[in-house]
Structure 1
């Protein structure tokens, strides 16, 4: 189910013989890959306690793992919580939104238990306390972050996916002026190398073909440096692909770029630019300039000419003039991103940017967002067109419908093509016949 989907139909990804007979639990996840990782961990925790985890509802209990990166993210979580409450489910809320504002979350209808980011198992603990206490009380178990807190080890089993997220780091120390994530996720802490390698080995034995390294601020991983971690994982027998999730531009050094030469490392980077105006970047508290960002992209492409380069853009930051915005549009084209994730600036309580002057009207933010998304589609289409008629290697993920399969290339381009369902998990070479802004299509040979 996607982030905007609330409707629920009776179904389960597991058979009756594979699941316990306890209360049914459905998980709804908003936000980043870290949240998905945390949800996978919670699913396993609930299963071990005797709950029946369903992939679609209806369910006796719904666990909503929230995001708070923008005001809209929190609003979408509230909308989902109310919808599940109307369906009669007992709602457990966890994640960044409840870490930041547990009181507001606890007051929402249907909520029986609230936990935050720290103490992953507190979601289940709070729920079971609420069930013991009976109706009328919401149990809140949210622990404040501490500078000395350690990474919470949480091995996650994933029985079906061809890829797996491997969380290696948590938290952020940068405190960009617009960002609430450090308040929600806490200070940076990293998993020991030995624990990561142990989990990676287990995932490979489970048949995972692609591991995705993820963290709140992945570049802060260490010690050892992230480049060393990448090289150690690539030494593991049986690893097919290793992909890096989002990295801050100032964390990308020559040693990390050199990892793109390794055959297992995907030719894909996601580097948030946020703005093409150096003045706005300074107001945001970002630690790079447009010129230094462009040099990183140039060096990466010298190593991997087929590099897929994604980015994030914020429009309507306080003080952003039309000239600042035009600089952003120009930088998107000049750097030549393959994928752009853009969103309107949303003031988050407690951040420095919330007090900045020069607020941009919402109507202007929406107009600017529309322009960025138009450029984004053009850039994605241009990047995808280079692969039409060219053999590309695709990691097959699943069958969608009647022989239509889907998967991704090393450059993180989505492909749709026809084949056999048992190709899932295999690397297959296909020759795209059509490009769209969403990805590549391979025509049916008998069409």
Structure 2
């Protein structure tokens, strides 16, 4: 994942790095120019000085050696032995000599040598002071770099606080909207600049979003009212018909199917409305929902789907398990899982096991590929062999309901034979 640093931090860091880089560049350039100019001036001066001394010794041998700049010596091949041993083999040019004086101090000299017609001239220039000056210059430049870097950091802090203050205020106002539960116009509180333009864009987005949420809320209310009313009529009429004394067994079975379908539709509407509002609700009057009881009701409602298939449906409750959720939510989830197991199983068994904080639906169908298990919970994705039935929304609804209540739903292939295992782990 890409690093997400705050804008203020990036602004401060940019100023600090800019100040440090500019100061360091200035320091390096200053050292380079100083060294270049100094070396060129010293070498030229010393060479000119030794040249004039040698020429003077050749053309005026009766005159003593004298240096116009520094101390020097002129020797012949016969008297060269009087000079320090390290100097005697040096060729013409300027050399760096490091020596220790009588007091034990390290000295740095520039030694210019000139050999011509058997005459050897030496001029020596002590540059120890220049070395000291260079060290002092380096120290001063380091101090300047540190000072400029701190100054850049201070400017960055000040500018970041000043520049980002409107952005911070905008973020704070948006956070206040969340606390207040309603949005108010933002643009009127900001200047006509980039932040003001962002505030106007947020106002426009907030208006469109509020209108969309309001339409969604009205639609949910309309759906809840318009669908619940006919379903309640169907349920009450079915109940009255079931109490008729001249009801035949075949008609009574059909009325039970109508009653189950009506109840499932009511539960599905309630679950979908919860999802649309992202609202988690517990059972009424603080009661808990028995998982095994809901599973048994779902199994009975799904038996008509067998359609003569050689399938047995078994329910095993190893221990009592209750969840803090409406029975309608759990019923919708189990209806999809058990219904899918019956749909894909051509023969064999569909076993529902309750216990250990979970419920599992185990079938003997064609099974699933491990890499396809997670994809089945995506909208519009259907398992192999689904044919033209279904829109691939059932498991997606189950996943959303489980996420709303903190449950974990999963699918995996069986390891002991053909088939798949769908499970819900109640958190």
Under TM normalisation by the shorter chain, which class is it?
Answer: under 0.3
More helix by share: 2
Q: TM-score, normalised by structure 2?
A: 0.19
Whichever of the two has the greater Rg, that structure is 2
More strand by share: 1
